[in-house]
Amino acid sequence: MPFMTTLQAKCHICRSNGEVWNLLGRPVEFCGGSGGGGGTNGEDYGGDTGDEPPRREPEVVLWALVVGACVSSVAMTPSPSLAKTPKDDDTSVSVIIPALNEAESIGATVRHLRNLEPAALEVIVVDGGSSDATPRLAAQAGAKVIRAKPDARGRARQMNLGASHASGDILCFVHADTCPPLDLVQVVGGVLTDTRVACGGFVPVIQHGDRTFWFISLHNVIKTYYPALFRPVSFFRGLRCLFGDQVMFCRRREFDAVGGFDARYKIMEDIDLCFRMHELPVVGHRRRRVRLVNRVVTTSGRRFEQWGNLKATILHLYLGFSWYFGASPEQLNRDYVKLYGDIR
């Protein structure tokens, strides 16, 4: 698809007055939600404040074009809404949200997900022992709430628990402060009509208050293609690195086949899943593909507001390379607790 057409049709930015603008500065459908989706902490799963997306000044459109140009310069899967239309029986989607003390955002996130068109089969919130009103607000907004026992807490364990209670053929993992597109069900169903694809995710745009972190957002996209540097053969066979704030999705049967998320990890459980799903066999193909979909999701930048672009990027690189070069889950968890803390 031509670059400009892709941008015009598929990349949406929310405005505070309820309008949504694509990256060419033209209004499109409202994507809803509080805007956000960081949640990189195994004990801190997201939660920007407020129900209103931040205002985007006109010059942001120019920045968005720069980011879009970089994103579109690499191969991404065409948007399913412009390509295949999935069959109804292929699109029963269960949305799973791990949460801990997310009272300020969980209601808006669940309401947004309940307004998907077509609708998700269910929205499941797995609470990790919140001390605030997160479970009650999630239930009031229409989610099925599961309270994790102490030995089932932590983001990876909570997502596995949610998957075990899910009824859908497709599992979609959303952080508590993430705003996916309203046609999420159609998009993920369309991508997964390709039997070579094991899992997928979206292009994240990181926001906090009135600020959009374009540099970190661009780096998050670039990280998807790191296998080209370190595992070039696997890269050309379809391996990509996806992270939780990209709204990861996959078929339930393949999630079960690899044993779900590795519960030993407080961080990097998402990229670990990508590597293991890439190794799944498929008839006629040597490896399964991990796809980056050319649609935007907004995600919370509360950590980056405190850290800044440079520190956030260095921390991500350090933890990512530590995982890749064989750091144990215990070492990663210690580094993660020391470096991340709990920012709300």
- Helices 214-223, 59-72: axis angle to 10 degrees equals 10
Structural domain count, the chain: 1
State phi, psi for 80 to the nearest 5 degrees: -60, -30
Q: Which domain holds residue 50?
A: 3-340
Q: 300 pLDDT band (50/70/90 cuts)?
A: confident
User: What is the distance between the alpha carbons of residues 179 and 204, in angstroms, rounded to a whole number?
Assistant: 10
Which pLDDT tens digit goes with each residue over 167-218? Answer: 999 999 999 989 999 999 999 999 999 999 999 999 999 888 788 888 888 8
Which pLDDT tens digit goes with each residue over 123-169? Answer: 999 999 999 999 999 999 999 999 999 999 999 999 999 999 999 99
pTM score: 0.74
* Whole-Å CA distances, 163 to 119, 256, 327: 18, 9, 27
In one-letter notation, the amino acid at residue 187 is: V
CB neighbour list of residue 261: distance below 8 Å, 6 or more residues apart: 155, 156, 157, 159, 160, 269, 270, 272, 273
Q: 343 pLDDT band (50/70/90 cuts)?
A: very low
pLDDT at residue number 305: 67
97 beta partners = 125
Q: Kind and range of the H or E element at 108? A: helix 106-114
CATH number, domain containing residue 10 = 3.90.550.10
Tokens 């057409």 correspond to: 5
Which pLDDT tens digit goes with each residue over 15-36? Answer: 433 344 444 343 433 343 333 3
**Residues 279-303: what's their mean pLDDT?**
83
